[in-house]
Every structure is written in C-alpha cells, then in structure tokens.
Amino acid sequence: MCSKRVLLIDDEPDIVRMVQITITAFVNWQVLVAYDGPAGIRIALTEQPDVILLDVMMPGMNGLETLRKLQEDPQTEQIPVILLTAKVRGSDQANYSDLNVAGLISKPFNAAQLPRQIAAYLNWLLPN
C-alpha cells in the first residue's frame, strides 16, 4: 500500500511520465493523473488525494482557474495544492503568494529532488 496519493494535473505527457517515474521510484507514492483542469477536479472529488501538483499553464481551463474551482468546493478545499510552473519571475511569484497554495515548484525541476520538495512543503517524513 502506498503511503501517499498525489494527483498530478498537467497537460505535458513528458512531465507526467517524469513525475510518475520519480515519485513511484523514490518514495512509492501513488500518482493519479489528469491532463486538464476539469478531469483533475473530477479525480480530486472522487479520489481525495493527499496533495495536488497543478500545472499553471494549460489549454482550456488553466491551472489558476482549476485552483479556484478546487478551493471553492468544500470537498476539495482542504487538499493542499503545489503549483508547477515555468512562470517564476518576481512578478509571477507575487501573484502566486495570494493564492493560498502549499508551495511552488518551478519547471524545469530536478526530478530527483521532487519528492523531497513536496515533502518539505507539507511537512511529510520521507521513507528511508
């Protein structure tokens, strides 16, 4: 049994594969995947993951719209969200500071460090 369940909402198949492989290999957490915001919201409602990794720039419903919908729903508002984004300039970070997210991981990210970054934001202990 996996100790944690991570929902990844990202439209880039290469990122999805890298996150799945890294998280499964390093910490054996289960990774649930949605390739767009509406699917991510549905999975969050039904699966109640321990954390959501959310891409900011996606076609259709972008990550910030998805975040707003998740935070408005009593069934998903308490699930911590960590933003994954290539937009990490100072002005972008100022916009993110008002969003009530658990953290921000910039793309490209160091795959080997990803589980450690997630755990640090959420105060989780990593398996040895």
pLDDT, tens only, 31-84: 999 999 999 999 999 999 999 999 999 999 999 999 999 999 999 999 999 999
Cα–Cα distance measured from residue 75 to residue 77, given in angstroms and rounded to the nearest whole number: 6
pTM greater than 0.85: yes
The fold for domain 5-122 equals Rossmann fold (3.40.50)
**Is 117 a residue whose pLDDT tops 70?**
yes
Helices marked H in 28-113: 37-47, 63-72, 90-96
pLDDT at 127 over 80: no
Q: Where are the domains of the chain?
A: 5-122
